[in-house]
Amino acid sequence: MRNEAKVVAITGASSGIGEATARRLAADGHRLFLGARRTERLHALVREIAEMGGTAAFRRLDVTDAADVRAFVAAAHDRYGRMDVLVNNAGVMPLSPLDALKVDEWDRMIDVNVRGVLHGIAAALPVMRAQGGGHLVNIASVGAYEVSPTAAVYCATKYAVRAISEGLRQESDGTVRVTLVSPGVTESELAEGISDPAARQAMKAYRAVALPASAIAGAIAYAVAQPAEVDVNEIVVRPAASAQ
């Protein structure tokens, strides 16, 4: 059964969870507006969705730039006349031990994983309140609940996303729903950004059992499909065969 069609904007939509979510929500009948830096991938994805009979458009997006995120949300609203859901999905994960002192990588994680989510909220919240409702879906990680070696800064950013999401939920009057989705090990390109050799090798073993990105897309689709009076606050999705 197809859900009521909504306008859904997705950040980090060029690969991994964002790409899988675009495919799933398009198949569910929603109208999509996709953002990422790699526009060639977005163009191919939009074409694929159109060939499936879905509706999608895209705009280049850098979530670390607050003005660019505002322009992205405005473009989605201008195209479709409203914006019902924003999936704050963009993220990076260059793991390393703290004593490696990779300060530039720490800053990058904070900029993308934390400021990127805040920029999305700042851009979307006024639009959603003005139209009388909306839904913010923030993608965190099981790293929002636990810390592991080499992942201290990454986990800190995901703890922050969890705290921001819970604070926003408590501040909402119910018209804007807030969902935190925390994936366990999931097939994606995140590990390719790890420059530290030891952390990169450890991640290969850690990711031996991984969920397909479509599993996380299914969790997001479930939250989006709930009626307006139901707010799915937190979803943690892990591989059944993994203790992580």
Q: What angle do CA 206, 207, 208 make, to 5 degrees?
A: 95
Q: Which sign, positive or negative, has the C-alpha torsion 91, 97, 98, 101?
A: negative
Q: How far apart are CA 159 and CA 176, in angstroms?
A: 22
Q: How far apart are CA 26 and CA 107, in angstroms?
A: 34
Tokens matching residue 184: 């366990």
Q: Check 80, 154, 159, 206 and give the catalytic one.
A: 154
Q: Going by C-beta distance under 8 Å and a sequence separation of 6 or more, which residues neighbour residue 15?
A: 36, 38, 41, 188, 189
154 catalytic? Reply is yes
DSSP tag of 4: P
From the list 164, 168, 141, 64, the residue with the least C-alpha distance to 109 is 64
Q: How far apart are CA 187 and CA 110, in angstroms?
A: 22
Q: Going by C-beta distance under 8 Å and a sequence separation of 6 or more, which residues neighbour residue 105?
A: 94, 96, 153, 195
Q: Give the gyration radius of the chain's Cα atoms.
A: 17
Residue type, 100: A
The catalytic site residues sit at 154
